[in-house]
Amino acid sequence: MADQPADVAETEIAAMRRALDLAALGPFSPNPRVGCVLLADDGSVVAEGYHRGAGTPHAEADALDRAGEAARGTTAIVTLEPCNHTGRTAPCAQRLVQAGVRRVVFAQPDPNPVAAGGAETLRAAGIEVVSGVLAEESRTLNRAWSRSVELQRPFVTWKFATTLDGRSAATDGTSRWVSSAAARRDTHLLRAECDTMLVGANTVAVDDPLLTVRDDAGNPLPRQPLRAVMGLRDLPETRRVFNSDAETVVLRTHDPHAALVELWGRERRHVFLEGGPTLAAAFLSAGLVDEIVVYVAPMLLGAGRTAVADLGITTIGAAMRPRVTDITVLEPLPGDGDEEPNVRLTMEMH
């Protein structure tokens, strides 16, 4: 844990941890996950709240509504700087002022220039403000959202599965299953953390994927990411991606920039790129891949389709070199048969 501001009590740090736990209960996108705990002078909890999605009360408003008049004189512990703008709801900074909160302790400054400035509003009203408490933990919770706001486009995670020799399919086109059952379960956990699944039209035509988040029994979960199909090719409505399990949009372009602009306009903040080698090469060449997740199977093919198409790189010195941030061995579970463990590598491009 990084050093915390000197003027923060242990009870406030503990309350911030609780606020982060509350924030994690909320859905991701298009708004950040935010939690709030109101503390009395003796450190006891007066009320708690968290944001439940776009159009619902923000975490501070949720906690203030629950506290009522008891909010006056409290310390508000918030995982993100209180917003300072009117969107679907009123500014949280003003709500805190009106409620008579004495002190505000928040974790991460708001990276959104439209919503930022809440700290100044609070200080101007005479409220004591402390920032930076468990800031890294808060940023980790909202990692993709924070980066997308900074980039002003969706954060892009490219996921693929490969053999030891870098093949995503055999020469006859078969690819089921390069990854293990454990890797596929893990993929669904990662899919659930994004708001958009993106593939190319050719992947839909050839592989006919569902592109849904499913449980271990194969049933779709209640909350589903948007399914986005990118390309100019017309596709039959019988493809599974057009079923009723989730919403699907067709992006009529081959340009990754144009695709992300449209998805940003749809308030999408985290794209999970699962297309084939051509689509992957297009996003990599455009500099639009932020994170790579690759499942490596203990398997050799010697030939077949590669995970990414030609990037125009002709010398080793020009190679793209993502930074490895995590290595996890995915062990098979009972019932997975005699499958060998897969390795998940997580890397960042920037």
* Helix 59-67 × helix 92-99 angle, to 10°: 20
Identify the DSSP state of 325: E
| CB 163, CB 299: distance < 8 Å | yes
Using CA atoms in the order 78, 84, 85, 88, what is the torsion angle rounded to 10 degrees? Answer: 20
Phi, psi of 321 (to 5 degrees): -130, 80
332 CB burial (10 A radius; 0-12, 13-18, 19+)? middle
Distance CA 133, CA 143 (A): 16
Q: What angle do CA 75, 80, 85 make, to 5 degrees?
A: 100
Distance CA 156, CA 99 (A): 39
For 225, how many CA atoms within 13 A lie in the half-sphere containing its CB?
28
Distance CA 73, CA 47 (A): 13
Distance CA 105, CA 202 (A): 50
Q: Strand order in 103-108's β-sheet?
A: 45-50, 35-39, 75-80, 103-108, 128-131
Q: Distance from first CA to last CA of the chain, Å, rounded?
A: 23
Characterize the bridge pairing of strands 155-163 and 128-131.
unpaired
Of 89, 87, 81, nearest in space to 36 by CA: 81
* Helix 59-67 × helix 10-23 angle, to 10°: 110
Is 60 in the active site? yes
Q: Which residue is catalytic, options 10, 12, 48, 60?
A: 60
Q: Give the catalytic positions in this structure.
A: 60
